[in-house]
Chains A and B, each alone.
Chain A
Amino acid sequence: MSTADASLPARLRAEILGLAAQEPHPRGAAVAALRLVQARFGWVSTGHLCEVAGLLGMSADDLDGIATYFNLLFRRPVGRHVIMLCDSVSCWIMGREPLCAHLCRALGIQPGETTADNTITVLPTVCIGHCDHAPAMLVDSTLHGDVDTACLDHLIDMLRNTP
């Protein structure tokens, strides 16, 4: 059984109930609660989603409508690291297409996929507000700018060698 199938740890449940208590209606904590689950497990499994829905007094379908609406909430497992390469206009002008092709070729995957060793997921993202250093990307929570192929190769090496 993977950790994602296990029920939510008691502390996390308490934290979610605490957030819900601060809202005029518990559902106001929906995104914050799902973000907490994802921060702990890397993604939001159906089991966890149902549990959170119960804590917030929502139906699972209702909460899933939110989970699937927001692109930063993952309803499928992702790799240990997530590379989000900006695909908006300034980065496109500055050459993000060939960079994306290079990255996918180097990893042997397409955007939206995860490497077989579960290390890296590549996702497109809308503008991340680093347009003066386009092309830009987010690697987990770190912003990178002026990205080129050498920088991508170095990054892949580094991510593969970090736990």
Chain B
Amino acid sequence: MQFLKPLSLLLPAACLSAQLWAQAPVVDVGSARSDAQSNRGMEGEMYQQLQLLRQEVMALRGTVEEQGHQLRQLKQQSLDRYIDIDRRLTAGGSSSDAMTDSPDSLAVGSPSEASPAASAEGAVIAGSTSTPSATNETSPTSVVLDGDESSDYVKAYDLVKSASYDEAIIAFTSYVEKYPTGRYTPNAWYWLGELYVAIKPQNLSASTQAFQQLLTDYPDHGKVPAAMYKLGTVYFLNGDKQKSQEMLTHVIDRYGNTGNSAVNKSREFLRKNF
């Protein structure tokens, strides 16, 4: 809107000059000097044409700018696509896109976004409603881990995604045995912790153990705040309210300034249950 002001200020000026041109021939009507008249008429016409040309150039410039922008976007898109395909090809597997994406999202994303068991309460619900469907029929993958570190992890993670929690536990357990210091071992411990709560019946002590393993072996890993929060909720489910409160308070104290989503979840949990 502000933009209109200079426009409106400019307009009178433009109109004024246009008027001058338009008036000129009228003033000269009385005189017999028709050549001057036609001269001025010509100038007026030239002026009009100049205006039209300017408008035309501006419109064309706009189109060129926009097409240039679209070209840049297309270039970027095709580059992205190429990189993606290249990555899949070099990974050499059908499941490679999960491999490249999931460890990242697991490491940084909040547990609730990726996890089948969003929270301790969620876990109970998930356990009661979705485990019946968690049978083999959706998972063609065997639990045998025979690939390399990445593809084995992906295989196990695919089982989580297809809600085959029992098989996923077996897969992750063999993963941590096979790769005790693997790249995704902390994530595997985290998932084991989650999965033992998601299955029915829950195995709270196994879940506790898995989370504790992650906390002792990888105290600086990105999954630690989420694991601490989860462990706090598992203590609660186990009836150990004091330990639960201690753990959740610890999360808030230690990560309160980092904006980690586990902090708000801990707060929420403390508020609801204590």
Does B associate with A? no
Residues of B with Cβ closer than 8 Å to A?
A: none
